[in-house]
Amino acid sequence: MRLLKARKGTEVKVKFPQKETGSVIQSDQIGLHSSLYQRLFGKSFGEDHGGKPWKRGVVTVLRQQGEGRSQKVRLLFRGGALEGAGSDTCLIAPTARQMLGIRAEGEEVALIIEPQWYARAWFYWNHPDHHARVAFKLGSLAFAIAVGQVGASMFRLLW
């Protein structure tokens, strides 16, 4: 797994996906043009991941809300034939727009790439969909309990 250094935010304008054009974006996705993906991650999507959808990059979307206040949400990359996504625009679903407080098309947000080893965990920990978020948190709790049990068993065997 390659670790990415955090980069300064790339400012882009938000566009709303239009259902009639087929640009459907899920609540946990951000629609990016391939040139914008390459500018953010430093390579095209298929180069490092072999086009595997489960290895999509996590993008942090940051929106300033006045002095010293900001709102951010982490979203998975979504590419393909997305009408409206360009080199300086992105498509964001209604749920993510509501979380960011975006009310009109054309508002600017910053796209930031965080190191991938924890960005994906934080993405699922704060997932926009309640069911995915609860499932990840319960799975994390079960994993922590299992590790604790293995540690306790090893302790009893050795002492």
Within 13 Å of residue 43, how many CA atoms lie on the same side as its CB? 11
- What is the C-alpha separation between 61 and 29, in angstroms, rounded? 11
Whether the per-residue pLDDT at 54 is higher than 70: the answer is no
Q: What percent of the chain has pLDDT over 70?
A: 81
- Of 11-25, 107-121, 143-157, the least confident: 11-25
Whole-number pLDDT of residue 2: 36
Tell me the longest C-alpha to C-alpha distance in the chain. 67
Whole-number pLDDT of residue 19: 66
What kind of fold does domain 10-128 have according to CATH? Barwin-like endoglucanases (2.40.40)
The residue whose two tokens read 């360009």 is 86
Residue pair 36/87 in contact by the 8 Å Cβ criterion: yes
Within 13 Å of residue 132, how many CA atoms lie on the same side as its CB? 13
Whether the per-residue pLDDT at 51 is higher than 80: the answer is no
* Exposed e or buried b per residue across 19-42, where buried means at least 16 C-beta atoms within 10 angstroms of its C-beta: eeeebebebbbbbbbeebbebbbe
Q: What percent of the chain has pLDDT over 90?
A: 16
Bridge-based pairing state of the strands 29-31 and 70-78: parallel
